[in-house]
A and B are shown apart, each in its own frame.
Chain A
Amino acid sequence: MLKLIRIDDRLIHGQVAFTWTPALNINCIVVANDRAATDEFLKMTLGLAKPAGAKLVIKTIRETIPFLNDARNASLSTLVLVDSVKDAHALVSGVAGIGSINFGGIRAKQGARPVSKAIALTDNDLTLIRELLEKGIELEVRQVPTDKKIGIESLLS
């Protein structure tokens, strides 16, 4: 079962390993990221960061879609990590039944405006977010599971 799709440009880090994974009983972490899937050193650091009780799958966005649609993987309790709104949008387009996306962290970069402490968005991100909202996808901002969900729409003026 797909428990959470999280946008977090740190991919696996403390909040993911120590709060989300135990809170949701995750036993499979999918890092859906084209760069990670093709960079052996990055793969190694992700393996180092992985919580002990979960298996780690690192795939390109294109490979992630059939993996998540495959009924044989439905018994896994899965957390999917992407590092951008664009990649989350791509998963929503390709994977059946995604109703919600967690915004964990997108750090400031050129061309992005902060909308909260942890999230900075570009104009392109905003366009994709509006499309997702129009499809009825819940877009909620939480760093850790015990935070109160904040709808991203309430942060956009």
Chain B
Amino acid sequence: MTKTRKFLIVSHGGLARGIKSSLEMIAGAVDGVYVLEAYVEENKPIEEELSRLFAEEEVEWVVFSDLLGGSVTNQAVRAANGRAVHIVAGFNLPLVIEVVLSDPGLPVEEILGEAVGRAKEQMVYVNPLLTQPDNDA
């Protein structure tokens, strides 16, 4: 049987809930988006909590983690070992929007492969683009 796709946003501190709030402002209410914020009140590991989530047999997880090399990503990578979990580190809002709104019938590898490339293009230093319009054309 096919697995249900769910999304998990994990962060150091309050970013995860913040990005979910922004996502809902732009995309409206969305199903299957969960957040986990590490170290907010207690400086304790989140690996067990992640393992518990990832152990759900019927679920294919897409995890957005804040920082490649950060302990949140490291713990997600360890907890995901051998499970149906896809992790993208260094997420931004365009990526989360695109992936959450993507067709659940498409393979997740395909969605993430393309969405990550487009999300990178969304990070742009704007000032150099603010040149005078070209009137010669």
Q: Please give the residue numbers on chain A whose beta carbons come within 8 Å of chain B beta carbons, in ascending order.
A: 10, 12-14, 17-18, 41-42, 45, 48-51, 105, 107-108, 117-118
Cβ contacts A to B, 27 pairs, < 8 Å:
A10-B71, A10-B74, A12-B69, A13-B69, A13-B70, A13-B74, A14-B12, A14-B69, A14-B71, A14-B72, A17-B70, A18-B67, A18-B69, A45-B74, A45-B77, A45-B78, A48-B68, A48-B73, A48-B74, A49-B68, A50-B69, A51-B69, A105-B43, A107-B43, A107-B44, A108-B42, A108-B43
Q: Considering the chains assembled together, what is the distance between the CA atoms of A150 and B72 in angstroms?
A: 26
Cβ contacts under 8 Å, A49 to chain B: 68-70, 73-74
A9: nearest residue on chain B (CB-CB)? B45
Interface residue tally on B, bucketed by range = 10 to 19
Which of chain B's residues 51-68 have a Cβ closer than 8 Å to chain A? 67-68
A111 CB to closest chain B CB (Å) equals 15
Instruction: Tell me, yes or no, whether B81 is within 8 Å of chain A by CB.
Output: yes
Known: A14-B70, A108-B42. 13 other contacts (CB 8 A): A14-B67, A14-B69, A14-B71, A17-B69, A42-B78, A45-B77, A48-B73, A49-B68, A50-B69, A51-B69, A105-B43, A107-B45, A108-B43
Q: Considering the chains assembled together, what is the distance between the CA atoms of A117 and B43 in angstroms?
A: 7
Q: Is the CB of B12 within 8 A of A41?
A: no
A21 CB to closest chain B CB (Å) equals 10
Partner of B81, one of A17, A41, A48: A41
Q: Considering the chains assembled together, what is the distance between the CA atoms of A14 and B65 in angstroms?
A: 12
Closest 7 interchain pairs by CB?
A13-B71, A14-B70, A49-B69, A17-B69, A10-B71, A45-B77, A14-B67
A41: nearest residue on chain B (CB-CB)? B81
B111 CB to closest chain A CB (Å) equals 22
Cβ contacts under 8 Å, B77 to chain A: 45, 48
Q: Is the CB of B44 within 8 A of A108?
A: yes
Q: Is the CB of B69 within 8 A of A48?
A: yes
Cβ contacts under 8 Å, B81 to chain A: 41
